[in-house]
Amino acid sequence: MRLASIFYGRVQVVYSWGRYGWTRGGGKTWHGGLDLVGLDDTTVRMPYYKGKRITGRVVRARIVTDRRDKTWEWGWYVCVQLDSAQTPDAVNFLYFAHCEKLLVQVGQKVSSGDALAVMGRTGNAALGNSPYDHCHLEVRATATGRGLDPTAYAGCDNAVGIYGTAEDAAPTETGETVIDVSYHQGVINWTKVPYRALVRIGYRGYGTGALMKDEQFDANLAGAKANNKLLGFYFFSQAITEDEARAEADFCASLAPTGYPLFFDAEWSHSVHDGRADSLTKAQRTACARAFCVRAAALGFQPGVYTFTSFATANLDYEGLCREYLGWLADTRANYDTTLPRYIHQYGQTAKGGVPGIGPETDLNRIVKTLPTLDKPSEPTHQEIWLDHVVLPNAAAMEFYTVAKKYGLDNDKAYHAKFVEE
């Protein structure tokens, strides 16, 4: 996705009187900015300047409704003062007005792409004959000065029309909150949990390298499945070779049902960074992640990668991996880097007891792009398997069949099987 204006996706100038200049009252009334409508995304963002990233600081973030205040007409608005030497023009202040709500606070540092507000029609914008949701973008040399030409920041011409493409829109949020759980959440009462969950299968020891099942995995798997709360799985990796990464995927397949997302958890072992995988190069860790995902896909999972923003850019080719696999990114900042791809965004953590049925703190995530569906193979309802003329009962036959299929054992060579009508 690409931010070409103050919105992702298409931006529209709807009316001629929404243009910058002497555009109102038959050319007799001045309009100091551009009224822009986000057609594919309503979040107002810090713009680029002709494709160049710019930075600044929020100096106003408020609503003004008192008509005796000379700025009353702004309603909910944000003012950003640009840092020095950001652009070659005279502009020092950016105004984003008539918003529905604000997403920043005074004093906050912002840069291109950061979320500032939500498009709306507050203040003067709500008083016209045909009010409509938009953002009034105005740029000034001084905070109280006259509006200057905003087109270099708007990403569109000062003319009625639609600019940009829908393909550049931000991923659509499903609105679904999901949690991730491990032994850290203790014993969970899944009958009370209101969210779907990503369940940790296990981890590789950062010292010993041993493959370990999460202490609460069995209980969490059973409880989440029984209450229709299972979204998928993750595994904390400390693989230092591609073979070890493939072994981690095999370990997951030996414990968890296939047909679900399975994430390779790539992060530091702990705060001092002295785990067995913490010294890997970016290329080595990326190779391990890819080997895990390739094997996980072959085993019937929907593979993906979990990490956090700084790790994603410095220690892993996260963007490259996301061209093939699901991305799950952690970033708890209010204005995180939205350009990094993700299907799931981990945005925070509850206080103790913040999720019904769970006592400790719990990570909160949001699905920001609908997960692709994974066709699950149809399973026979009854099967007999015999080895050396020994016929297995149905339950054992089904278990054997699943294992044989996973490891490529050939029917009629390694074993004999047939479907039996109930």
Across 153-157, 327-331, 403-407, least confident range:
403-407
Query: What 3 state SS string does 173-189 have?
Result: CCCCEEEEECHHHCCCC
Specify burial of residue 152 (Cβ count, 10 A radius: 0-12, 13-18, 19+). middle
DSSP assignment letter at 397 = H
Helix (H, G, I), strand (E, B) or coil at 59: strand
How confident is the model over 286-329, as pLDDT tens digits? Answer: 999 999 999 999 999 999 999 999 999 899 999 999 999 999 99
C-alpha–C-alpha distance, residues 151 and 153, integer Å? 5
Taking the CA atoms of residue 32, residue 37, residue 38 and residue 42 in that order, the dihedral angle to the nearest 10 degrees is 90
Q: Which residues pair with 200 in a beta bridge?
A: 234
Helices (H) and strands (E) in the chain, counts: 7, 26
Band the pLDDT of 397: cuts 50, 70, 90.
Answer: confident
- Give the chain's domains with CATH numbers: 11-168 (2.70.70.10), 177-367 (3.20.20.80), 383-419 (no CATH)
Both tokens assigned to 86: 């950001």
Residue labelled with tokens 């785990």: 275
* Backbone angles phi and psi of 347, in degrees to 5: -110, -10
**Structural contact between residues 138 and 92, judged by C-beta atoms closer than 8 angstroms:** no
**Structural contact between residues 238 and 206, judged by C-beta atoms closer than 8 angstroms:** yes
Q: Report if pTM > 0.85.
A: no
Band the pLDDT of 380: cuts 50, 70, 90.
Answer: very low
Asked if residue 100 has pLDDT above 50, the reply is yes
Band the pLDDT of 60: cuts 50, 70, 90.
Answer: very high
Q: Which residues pair with 82 in a beta bridge?
A: 56
pLDDT, position 297: 94
pLDDT (average), residues 348-366: 89
Region class of 357: left (phi > 0), else alpha (psi between -120 and 50), else beta: left
C-alpha–C-alpha distance, residues 405 and 315, integer Å? 36
C-alpha–C-alpha distance, residues 232 and 374, integer Å? 12
Asked if residue 173 has pLDDT above 70, the reply is no
Which of 275, 366, 255 is CA-nearest to residue 315? Answer: 275
pLDDT (average), residues 358-371: 90
pLDDT, position 360: 94
How confident is the model over 118-131, as pLDDT tens digits? Answer: 999 988 777 766 78
C-alpha–C-alpha distance, residues 249 and 381, integer Å? 27
**% of the chain beyond a pLDDT of 70:** 87
Residue labelled with tokens 């230092």: 240
How confident is the model over 3-27, as pLDDT tens digits? Answer: 668 998 899 999 999 999 999 988 9
DSSP assignment letter at 72 = G
Alpha-carbon distances, residue 149 vs 94, 114, 139 (angstroms): 11, 22, 7
